[in-house]
Amino acid sequence: MFKRIKVFTFNSLINALVLYNNKYYVVSDNGYSCFIYKSDRTGEVSDWRELVRLDGAMLGDIVRNKTCFSLNLRKNLTPPTARVRL
């Protein structure tokens, strides 16, 4: 299951709240890179350790659809989080 729940701004970042496989994630775009964090259902980041960092990517490229999101999430896990259960 994949669903974009909302797009919102916070501290000059563009964010998207995503539901993927019954877990919530926030994708944050600072204009240079995008980051994926674990979140609760309201869009509050529950763990500030970045799951994924994508340099040069744009928010729309990541949350376009289930395939784009899942590929970016699984393929680009940062080393400390590579063992995190998604």
What are 25-74's pLDDT values in tens digits?
999 999 999 999 999 999 999 999 999 999 999 999 999 999 999 999 88
Under the banding of pLDDT at 50, 70 and 90, the label for residue 76 is: confident
Nearest residue to 71 (alpha-carbon basis) of 58, 50, 45, 52: 52
What's the whole-model pTM score? 0.88
Question: Which residues on adjacent β-strands are paired with residue 54?
Answer: 34
How far is it, in rounded angstroms, from Cα 46 to Cα 43?
9
Tell me the residue type at 21.
Answer: N
Provide the Cα torsion 51, 34, 6, 81; round to 10°.
0
Q: For position 60, what pLDDT does the model report?
A: 94
Nearest residue to 51 (alpha-carbon basis) of 41, 39, 62, 38: 38
Both structure tokens of 1: 């299951």
Tell me the residue type at 65.
Answer: N
Q: For position 18, what pLDDT does the model report?
A: 97
Under the banding of pLDDT at 50, 70 and 90, the label for residue 81 is: low
